[in-house]
Structure 1
Amino acid sequence: MIRKVWGKKRIDVNENSNSKYYGWYIVLAASIITLLTVGFRLGVGPFVKPVIHDLGMSRTEFSLIVAVSALVYGLGMPLAGILLKRYSTRLVLIAGVIMVDVSLVWTIYARGIISFLLSFGILLSLGLSFLSPVALTPIVSNWFVRQRGKALFYLSTGSMAGIAIMSPLETFLIESLGWQQTLFMFAGLFVCIVIPCALFVMRDEVPEGADMKKGEIDEGIKVNKLVNLPEITWRDAVNTRVYWQIVIGLFACGFSMNLLGSHAVPMLIDHHFEPMTASFGIGMIGIVAIFSTLFLGSIADRYSRKNILFWIYFVRGLGFLGLVLVVNPWQLYLVAAIGGMVWAGSTAMSSAILSDLYGVKLLGLLYGWAYFGHQIGGAIGTFLGGWGYETLGTHFFAFGLTTVILLVASAVSYLLPARRTVTNPHPLN
């Protein structure tokens, strides 16, 4: 019998009961939120040509604004981590949706580059960072110990579904209604999805032992053969090599994902694919990733996390090279399907490794700053995608460079240690 507390009321939970463990409802709600937020943020590609046409921007200027937005998105995550530690997941999500809706309405009425930068590039990105997987990973990690890898993989399913759905949906809506009306519809969608999830599903109070079975609570648990080590400070964590190995991998992840979201659809259109064919090809990556995520989630707690991370980066790197070389739809769909098999999971595995090595208490702050590295990569990848095409006349520069960076990340991930080593730890406050 496990006891948990909601406010002053104590509720008994029997792990042998047939009722569904409440943590899975949190995973479901968090996945739906990330479907909307990640899908919208990475689905900026269909907006590129109509926005630069209406606002009189060059592709490089638009890419620079998206690059700035990636940095702001990254900077907002440590702030979200601090607020999560001080307040609650519910408050952070509500603050995020308010900022997102204000920024979307502002963007609709933007009439120049500066106004578009402030609304779409800065305020929107800050709001989305409060609704990002980084803001939702701590609550999921708190609710799961024995099945933490599986739960975090399932959380990333929402991101993959967002990639699968958003690009084709946005392309259809923009062609039917225009990009301003599309943004207005998404403003309403954010309110209808995020507010109910925040108010009625998210609970920061966790039952004793979380999802561990009887006996594991008293004996402790070893996750992937990692032993429980004494608590350390965030300064100790950032002084370890393994932390920066995770950051390098997330940099590569951000570089590749933001390049794909910003420039893959325009790149394929430039290579003479029809807009809907290009959008569906990119969407197929997310469709396949939904199912591959379920499989990877089923093995995430049984096999070495670092080896899974290695294969994710390695195959994804080869996929980017194939994507820029495809010349007809069947090749596009084949490359997208192969890439989708490993597209998910880099952030799930990275956050799981961080929580395994440094503990859940530091996860929000450590993952938030590590994800800033993800966004630095995203900013560089987004900018180089537009600059490289306009300056060099080819997309091969940016997409080929992505392949190299991902292969480096795969090697770095393979060299991750099995456990952390901290020298001269700082005293805990």
Structure 2
Amino acid sequence: MDNSKRPYYGWYIVLSASVIVLLTMGMRMGIGPFMEPVMVDLELSRTDLSIIVAIGMIVYGIGMPLAGMLLKTFSTRFVMLTGLTVVCLSIVWTVNSTGSVSFLLSFGIFLSLGLAFLSNISLSPIVSKWFVRQRGKALFYLTTGGMAGIAVMTPLETWLIHLVGWQQTLLIFAGVFICIVLPSAIFIIREDVPKEADGAGAAGNKGRQEAPSDITWKDAVKTRAYWQIVLGLFACGFGMNLLGSHGVPMLMDHHYEPMVASFGVGMIGIVAIFSSLFLAQLADRFPRKNILFLVYFVRGLGFLGLVLATTNWQLFFVAITGGLVWAGSIAMSTAILSDLYGVRLLGILNGWAFFIGHQIGAALGSFLGGWGYEMFGTHLFSFGIAGLLGIIASFASITLPQHLSFSKQLELDKQRALTK
């Protein structure tokens, strides 16, 4: 059989990783349908549960640089199997929780840690290793899994919770995790990347300058560009988790029917699946920072539109518009980090960027969504902040450099080392 006609093996890894991210993002970002039944069963206030969700987001963020460090010591397969074990054990613990403390430990802490090990942070380095010429496209496809998670999981969770209850819904998803992650880790994920992966070389890197191979993560975090990316991820985490945790309850408070509210939020992910396939074709043809600017700017306006919508057609119009750019921030941020600092440092730099930026923002978004409503009696407080952060992040993104020069800094470091 002619091997040239076979699909490039890296695309099998992208497909497998995208399905895993679908489950992970759907479980972590689509917590909205669980809010009301958990509050009733465990007798928690919205603020109490928001605090638990916020702590979970912090732990989710801590798990990301931890996963990045484990990737350098062990393998992608080891990190995935460890995450699967923690996820399944914590779900069993969660469904047997009877109070706020056990729910905090099981759902808030250990489930978040396990999901971090199965997140895009653990899977984007292996995808980036397998792709050079089409790295932006591959990472966009990986992000599509996350968008599908929001689109599929939010209404599916709502339906399953109504049918069998929230505890049985979690157990069902534990079984799905086993059926997907276990065979993927054992049979699909491969570390033996071809020397000329996806056209690596001059032709594959036209217009992009490779980062020096001897820079360290300390060199990277000293650059302004790294913190511009972190700022953007903060806005991304704040908005995405505000929507995931409080989007459905917010719409229900605005007198939308539960299924209409769920499909309104889910529509964002549905549109994002298709729009990400289109944006993926542009990711390697245009400056990534321009795409990132557009993503954050339109998304910022979308949060304001969502909280101000009063009719079904307004809700779905805003959801469709926001969905057009919902998928791009994580893919483009990861690709830019890879371009500026190299694939070798991607795991740890991406992990810390997600923790410091995305997950701190996620924790604040999850908390302020509940606290702000109980304090001020309106969701405009938290969703207005999300909109403003998106616009600020858009201007931080457009000023990112195309490449960085580390030669002077590396020379100074060598001179200091010689004088000691």
| 1:361-381 per-position Cα deviation (integer Å, ceiling 9, x unaligned) | 000000000011200000001
CA contact 1:224–1:302 (8 Å) conserved in 2: no
CA distance in structure 2 between the aligned counterparts of 1:223 and 1:252, rounded to whole angstroms: 31
CA distance in structure 1 between the aligned counterparts of 2:118 and 2:268, rounded to whole angstroms: 23
The residue that corresponds to 2:254 in the other structure is 271
Deviation at 1:39, TM superposition (A): 1.0
CA distance in structure 2 between the aligned counterparts of 1:245 and 1:61, rounded to whole angstroms: 32
1:337 aligns with 2:320: yes
Tell me which amino acid in the other structure corresponds to 1:44: I
Query: Aligned residues, how many?
Result: 410
CA distance in structure 1 between the aligned counterparts of 2:138 and 2:122, rounded to whole angstroms: 15
CA gap of 1:356–1:223, structure 2 versus 1, over 3 A, is farther
Q: Matches of residues 5-404 of structure 1 in structure 2 within 5 Å?
A: 17-212=4-199, 217=201, 219=202, 221-222=204-205, 224-372=207-355, 373-404=357-388
CA gap of 1:223–1:399, structure 2 versus 1, over 3 A, is farther
SS at match of 1:424: helix
CA distance in structure 2 between the aligned counterparts of 1:24 and 1:220, rounded to whole angstroms: 20
CA distance in structure 1 between the aligned counterparts of 2:68 and 2:208, rounded to whole angstroms: 28
The residue that corresponds to 1:407 in the other structure is 391
| 1:213-264 per-position Cα deviation (integer Å, ceiling 9, x unaligned) | xxx64x4643543355453011000000000110000010000000000000
CA contact 1:43–1:262 (8 Å) conserved in 2: yes
Tell me which amino acid in the other structure corresponds to 1:251: F
CA distance in structure 1 between the aligned counterparts of 2:55 and 2:26, rounded to whole angstroms: 18
Deviation at 1:49, TM superposition (A): 0.6
CA distance in structure 2 between the aligned counterparts of 1:140 and 1:385, rounded to whole angstroms: 34
| 1:145-188 per-position Cα deviation (integer Å, ceiling 9, x unaligned) | 00000000000010011110011000001111111111111111
CA gap of 1:105–1:416, structure 2 versus 1, over 3 A, is same
CA distance in structure 1 between the aligned counterparts of 2:59 and 2:351, rounded to whole angstroms: 12
1:424 aligns with 2:416: no
CA distance in structure 1 between the aligned counterparts of 2:210 and 2:74, rounded to whole angstroms: 30
CA distance in structure 1 between the aligned counterparts of 2:138 and 2:245, rounded to whole angstroms: 28
Cα RMSD between the aligned structures?
A: 1.4
CA distance in structure 2 between the aligned counterparts of 1:226 and 1:347, rounded to whole angstroms: 21
Over the matched positions of the two proteins, sequence identity in percent amounts to 63
Q: TM-score if structure 2 supplies the norm length? A: 0.95
| 1:278-337 per-position Cα deviation (integer Å, ceiling 9, x unaligned) | 000100000000000000100100000000000000000000000001111111111000
CA contact 2:307–2:379 (8 Å) conserved in 1: yes
| 1:373-406 per-position Cα deviation (integer Å, ceiling 9, x unaligned) | 2000000011000000001100000000110011
CA contact 2:208–2:339 (8 Å) conserved in 1: no
CA distance in structure 2 between the aligned counterparts of 1:255 and 1:41, rounded to whole angstroms: 13
CA distance in structure 1 between the aligned counterparts of 2:283 and 2:296, rounded to whole angstroms: 16
CA gap of 1:147–1:233, structure 2 versus 1, over 3 A, is same
Higher fraction of helix:
2
Q: List structure 1 segments (4+ residues) > 2 angstroms apart after TM superposition.
A: 219-231, 421-427
CA contact 1:42–1:262 (8 Å) conserved in 2: yes
CA contact 1:160–1:289 (8 Å) conserved in 2: yes
CA distance in structure 2 between the aligned counterparts of 1:168 and 1:266, rounded to whole angstroms: 13
Runs of at least 5 residues in structure 1 that lack an aligned partner in the other structure: 1-12
Q: TM-score if structure 1 supplies the norm length? A: 0.94
CA gap of 1:128–1:255, structure 2 versus 1, over 3 A, is same
SS at match of 1:342: coil
Runs of at least 5 residues in structure 2 that lack an aligned partner in the other structure: none
CA contact 1:223–1:356 (8 Å) conserved in 2: no
CA contact 2:68–2:348 (8 Å) conserved in 1: yes
Deviation at 1:86, TM superposition (A): 1.1
CA distance in structure 2 between the aligned counterparts of 1:39 and 1:178, rounded to whole angstroms: 17
